[in-house]
Homo-oligomer: A and B are copies of this chain.
Amino acid sequence: MPEPIRLLDEHGTRHASEEWDPWIQDLDDAALTSLYEDMVVVRRIDTEATALQRQGELALWPPLLGQEAAQIGSGRALRSDDFVFSSYRENAVAYCRGVEILDLVRVWRGLTASAWNPFEVGMAAPQVIIGAQTLHATGYAMAIQHDQVRDGVSGDSAVAVAYFGDGAMSEGDVGEAFVFASTFQVPVVFFCQNNQYAISEPVRVQTHVPLVDRPGGFGIPGVQVDGNDVLAVTAVTRQALDRARSGGGPSFIEAVTYRMGPHTTADDPTRYRDPAELEEWGARDPIARLRTYLEERGAGPELEARAAEAADRVARELRAGISGLEDPPALDLFAHVYAEQHPGLDRQRDDYARYLEGFAQEGPAL
């Protein structure tokens, strides 16, 4: 089995690659520092959100701890006109898309099923049904292709990007997404974060062979990348995006990483996970290796300080904002079910409004 593509190993050592280095040659110290800061910030968001869950401010939180490089490397490679369809775990990608910090937690406070305007940030509402979003991404890419044909342009197109996990690879929808993407040769990138687990199930329950083998059978090129190496992730994502933009069709990326935390704050991974495994992967931390590398490149203590400051700022924003979040009014229940008028539901809304009023005036029934 070949090793995943890796440009920065777990010790922070940079390995040159004729094939991949050209894709990241613009990444100078400033750019690397910025990626570093992003990773530190999203890790802090994770820590804070986990704490807020414990304090009862959030009902649930799905940490991405350990997957920062996979998400920041790919998320930062995107263009603003690209469109992301993700699962619930891609909070770092959402951060890259410009989603407000507070909007990252609204869903998990139970305020809404989607906190941001997908069209403003180029990212759909987080998807809970495993794998379903891969079809949406493929359809969006079909639409990009249609637009280009209609407008008589070609090349440099926007790209649809689907994020999903190792577990999702087993769902029929993901197979069908590969079929449609391949048949129509549309600009979509399938970004699979293999974090080794689907809740408690190790990836071997989903497959007998590496996940990266899967897309080839559909005629979709795939690469396996060290998902904890932000440089390699950047490189392979850029290549896939470039292929898509230039009419080269779909690509698949398996980012090999590890979910260092629980599945969600409701999960207890000690029931199914060996502490030794956790330790092993802890040594491959995506942030630590980039720090080592940057320090080798001459970064001083201000690297840490600046990142910490950015993280603090975001944490403060989150904490300051959370208590101000208001519950939605009762009649919101009915507000957005249909785009057009609906007499049946209008009646239910009116009935319920009357009920609430009566209740307020007269107290409980009977």
Q: Which residues of A contact B (CB under 8 A)?
A: 169-176, 179, 182-183, 185, 204-209, 213-219
Q: Pick from B176, B179, B213: contact of A217, CB below 8 A.
A: B213
Q: Pick from B171, B179, B205, B213: contact of A183, CB below 8 A.
A: B205
Give every chain B residue within 8 A of A205 (Cβ-Cβ): 183
Q: Pick from B182, B208, B216, B219: contact of A182, CB below 8 A.
A: B208
Q: Taking the nearest CB of chain B, how far is it from the CB of A38, in angstroms? A: 33
Chosen A-B contacts, 7 in total, with CB atoms closer than 8 Å, are A170-B179, A172-B172, A172-B173, A182-B208, A183-B206, A207-B219, A209-B219
State the CA gap A204–B183 with chains docked (Å).
7
Q: Taking the nearest CB of chain B, how far is it from the CB of A142, in angstroms? A: 14
Closest B-chain residue to A208, C-beta based? B219
Give every chain B residue within 8 A of A206 (Cβ-Cβ): 179, 183
Copies in the complex: 2
State the CA gap A216–B210 with chains docked (Å).
11
Closest B-chain residue to A250, C-beta based? B208
Q: Pick from B169, B183, B207: contact of A207, CB below 8 A.
A: B183
Known: A171-B176, A179-B206. 19 other contacts (CB 8 A): A170-B179, A172-B172, A172-B175, A172-B176, A179-B207, A182-B209, A183-B204, A183-B207, A183-B208, A208-B218, A209-B217, A209-B218, A209-B219, A213-B216, A213-B218, A213-B219, A214-B218, A215-B217, A217-B218
State the CA gap A173–B170 with chains docked (Å).
10
Task: Check if A216 sits within 8 Å of B218, measured CB to CB.
Answer: no
State the CA gap A205–B216 with chains docked (Å).
17
Give every chain B residue within 8 A of A172 (Cβ-Cβ): 171-173, 175-176
State the CA gap A24–B287 with chains docked (Å).
60
Closest B-chain residue to A211, C-beta based? B217
Task: Check if B219 sits within 8 Å of A217, measured CB to CB.
Answer: no
Q: Taking the nearest CB of chain B, how far is it from the CB of A180, in angstroms? A: 8
State the CA gap A215–B206 with chains docked (Å).
14
Closest B-chain residue to A185, C-beta based? B208
Closest B-chain residue to A222, C-beta based? B217
State the CA gap A204–B184 with chains docked (Å).
10
Give every chain B residue within 8 A of A175 (Cβ-Cβ): 172, 174-176
Q: List the 6 closest A-B pairs by CB distance, nearest first.
A: A172-B172, A175-B175, A217-B217, A209-B219, A208-B219, A214-B217
Give every chain B residue within 8 A of A216 (Cβ-Cβ): 213, 216-217
Q: Taking the nearest CB of chain B, how far is it from the CB of A336, in angstroms? A: 30
Closest B-chain residue to A172, C-beta based? B172
State the CA gap A55–B2 with chains docked (Å).
62
State the CA gap A216–B207 with chains docked (Å).
12
Q: Taking the nearest CB of chain B, how far is it from the CB of A57, in angstroms? A: 39
State the CA gap A182–B217 with chains docked (Å).
14
Q: Taking the nearest CB of chain B, how far is it from the CB of A109, in angstroms? A: 34
Give every chain B residue within 8 A of A208 (Cβ-Cβ): 182-183, 185, 218-219
